[in-house]
Structure 1
Amino acid sequence: MDAEQLIRAAIVVTAALLAAVVAGWLARFVVRRLGRRRYQHFFDNLSRSCRWPFRVLLAVVALVIALPFSTLTGSAREMVHHGLVIALIGASAWLAVRVLFVLEDAAFRRLPMDVADNRRMRRARTRIGILRRLTAVVVTLLAIAAILMTFAPLRTLGASLLASAGLAGVVAALAAQSTLAHIFAGLQLAFTDELHIDDVVVVEGEWGRIEELRLTYVVVRLWDERRLVLPTTYFTTTPFQHWTRNESRVLGAAVLHLDHRMPVGPLRAEAERVVAASPHWDRRDWVLQVVDTTETTMVVRVLASAPDAQHAYDLRCEIREKLIEYVREHHPEGLPRTRVALTPPAPADGQ
């Protein structure tokens, strides 16, 4: 290739890249104009997340269009064209995955979690997240398959191996049996309403909320900000407590051990006042009952409803604290105590 051909090729490449830059600038201008209206956050997020994959895609498309106008011929042209096709497939898959993330974020904005009864939002968020991840995996696999199919030896090899595809599939399924089990368990959890994002569960003796629900594992945020990571198959094979399966509302129980001399009537009146004044009570149900008795104490339980598990925990603590304070100040005889009876020894013979 002489100097004139090199100069022509450089001019073609430069013109193609400039055209890609202009097209990207126009697209960004249009997106910004659209973002000033109703869907501003969506278009801003789209522009921010898809900026680089879109730029790469425009550059590759421009080079593919400009290739016939270059001076490349023969094997060099075929090699450059093959490389551009691979880059085009990769950039398209990259852009598609980024668009999926933007659509997921837009859907999440329309499904707020900071509402009293957010079960429908939690279910929708869980399914959307699983679908986005599954679609991203499928897009990536299709892109890899398309790139491999651009090589002629691999296409020939694929045709020759078609007869043994059944055996290869069996071997691959056996090798990936554990991974496939986790994936199918994740899909089962998401689409059978067994588990959702932000559900309250008790697993391995720990109370927490579902923070992430992936295809192969689940992250539980525990009450002390620790994270418990469990495989998805755990929730399909092991019993666990699910506090928000049908609704977020739960009953909180505060248990007190008091002396038998404690009058129940005044205690019930004080419990009613405490529950009614609490911001954690949902104004629906409450009750105070003597549920058991022992040799030294009677067991008093206060049940009160709350909109969710977190409010129920705070409500239980508040009831327990204020009732103990009430008993200590107004009825100290009701505090638990141990009684000992002293019997004098029997008199000795002759005394």
Structure 2
Amino acid sequence: MQQQIDSWIREIIRWFGFVPNRDLSGWILLIIAVVLGLIVNVIVTWVVRAILNRQNPDFLLIMRRHLRWAFYVFVPSLFFLIATNLQSERFIRRHPVADKTAEVFFLVATTWLLIKLLKFGEVLLIRQYDTTKDINLSQRKFVTQVRFIRRTVGLAIIIISASLLLITFQGSRKVGLSVLTSAGVVSVLIGFAAQKTLGNFLAGVQIAFTQQIRLDDAVVVEKEWGRIEEINLTNVVVRLWDRRRLILPITYFVETPFENWTRSDASLTGAVLLYLDYSVPVERVREKAKELAGNDPLWNGEVFAVQVTEILPTCIVVRVLVSAADASSAFDLRCNMRERLLQFIRDEYPQSLPQTRLQLADELKPKEIIEGPAS
């Protein structure tokens, strides 16, 4: 086997025009490795494209978007690492700098490729799910869990890679071993600052599996309505109705009460309050509201009611209840009902709009006093 390796090395050196001697630097192997890596990249790319371009072009597009550059870097780093570890003292004098560069280069490239593979797997799993619709509760639950697991595993890979990178250097080997065995991490987590970070992480685990919030859930936080846009390891990004972003620590959703309008069902009941005069024909308003709701495609037909809920000194309060499939539809339906009922009352019963009544003192006197005694 050793003779075969020596023969290969001799042929490669002669092909590049070098004289076989023990002074050959390891950096020459870098050039050879990069060239071979590029050749392999071209071949693999061509084969994969030829296979997938006809059968599954979407899969090929996702693969190119997430894996192309990481794979292009990984293959030359692998060849470089193999080349620097060849045991052939007859032809190559191993160069310490080249050896160390190969290890670091390969470790960084491998970490990058693994992170991209996680992202590639996540996209493959969730690409057929539509999280923009409130009714897709199970799909949004699955997507939330997949993204949290991907971020957690990615963070673990980065920590392990950083530890291995420290181990490769003599001066920081003890630090790398401490981090890798979690001794250094545990000692740091004892500090007060790290307690909040650990609390955020545990809160993220709780949210991912208890599903208190999911991606695209409609929530009310800090008296603002919005949707969950991102669930990260330490914070949650809420996209408010006016396109602002509210960033909250993830522990907020564990420790603070909030409203989740799509927790178990996306449908909502909306209320329209009408302040009308005592003379309003409530039954006629009820019939018209029923007609308007039935003609509105936003009404899902589950809830409808028209009731007088309060009598005030100057008017009565008529409440109209209607339901819709989601929060956005419920808001638009309420606006439609409010606008059309107002138009109906204004056109048909204008005297039923709120009025202020004044009665003069003379009108309160008995009629005989005003007209005088009968003669």
| TM-score normalized with structure 1 length | 0.89
Structure 1 position 65 matched with structure 2 position 82: yes
Q: Secondary structure at the match of 2:284?
A: helix
Aligned equivalent of 1:336: 354
Given candidates 211, 219, 222, the residue that maps to 2:237 is: 219
Does the CA-based 8 Å contact 1:34-1:40 persist in structure 2?
A: no
CA spacing shift, 1:90–1:30, aligned 2, 3 Å? same
| TM-score normalized with structure 2 length | 0.83
CA spacing shift, 1:11–1:207, aligned 2, 3 Å? closer
Aligned equivalent of 1:300: 318
Given candidates 107, 110, 132, the residue that maps to 1:92 is: 110
How do residues 159-178 of structure 1 correspond to structure 2 at under 5 angstroms?
Answer: 169-174=186-191, 175-178=193-196
CA spacing shift, 1:151–1:231, aligned 2, 3 Å? same
> What is the RMSD computed on CA atoms of the aligned residues?
2.7
Does the CA-based 8 Å contact 1:257-1:297 persist in structure 2?
A: yes
Q: What is the CA deviation profile of residues 316-346 of structure 1, one whole-angstrom value per residue up to 9, with x for unaligned ones?
A: 0000000001000111111111111221499
* Alignment gaps of 5+ in structure 2: 1-17, 370-375
Structure 1 position 25 matched with structure 2 position 42: yes
Task: Find the aligned partners of 2:208 and 2:293 in 1 and give their Cα distance.
Answer: 37
Q: Secondary structure at the match of 1:287?
A: strand
Q: What is the CA deviation profile of residues 150-169 of structure 1, one whole-angstrom value per residue up to 9, with x for unaligned ones?
A: 2344445677x79x986972
State the 1:273 CA deviation.
Answer: 1.3
Given candidates 39, 53, 56, the residue that maps to 2:70 is: 53
State the 1:13 CA deviation.
Answer: 4.1
* Alignment gaps of 5+ in structure 1: none
Given candidates 194, 215, 218, the residue that maps to 1:197 is: 215
State the 1:236 CA deviation.
Answer: 1.0
Task: Find the aligned partners of 2:176 and 2:30 in 1 and give their Cα distance.
Answer: 35
Give the residue type in structure 2 aligned to 1:198.
D
CA spacing shift, 1:147–1:12, aligned 2, 3 Å? closer
Given candidates 295, 308, 313, the residue that maps to 1:290 is: 308
Task: Find the aligned partners of 1:210 and 1:256 in 2 and give their Cα distance.
Answer: 33
Does the CA-based 8 Å contact 2:165-2:176 persist in structure 1?
A: no
Task: Find the aligned partners of 2:50 and 2:302 in 1 and give their Cα distance.
Answer: 50
Q: Secondary structure at the match of 1:151?
A: coil
Given candidates 257, 260, 280, the residue that maps to 1:242 is: 260
Aligned equivalent of 1:137: 155
Q: What is the CA deviation profile of residues 224-252 of structure 1, one whole-angstrom value per residue up to 9, with x for unaligned ones?
A: 11111111111111111111111111111
CA spacing shift, 1:158–1:322, aligned 2, 3 Å? closer
Give the greater-gyration-radius structure (CA).
2
User: Between the two proteins, what is the percent identity of the paired residues?
Assistant: 34
Does the CA-based 8 Å contact 2:219-2:227 persist in structure 1?
A: yes
Aligned equivalent of 1:123: 141
Does the CA-based 8 Å contact 2:163-2:176 persist in structure 1?
A: no
Q: Secondary structure at the match of 1:283?
A: strand
State the 1:290 CA deviation.
Answer: 1.4
Does the CA-based 8 Å contact 1:34-1:43 persist in structure 2?
A: no
Q: What is the CA deviation profile of residues 273-322 of structure 1, one whole-angstrom value per residue up to 9, with x for unaligned ones?
A: 11111121123221211111111111111111111101000000000000
Q: Secondary structure at the match of 2:300?
A: coil
CA spacing shift, 1:55–1:316, aligned 2, 3 Å? same
Task: Find the aligned partners of 1:311 and 1:135 in 2 and give their Cα distance.
Answer: 38
Give the residue type in structure 1 aligned to 2:348.
H
State the 1:14 CA deviation.
Answer: 3.8
Does the CA-based 8 Å contact 2:300-2:323 persist in structure 1?
A: yes
CA spacing shift, 1:109–1:176, aligned 2, 3 Å? same
Q: Secondary structure at the match of 1:303?
A: strand
Given candidates 281, 292, 298, the residue that maps to 2:299 is: 281
Aligned equivalent of 2:203: 185
CA spacing shift, 1:232–1:9, aligned 2, 3 Å? closer
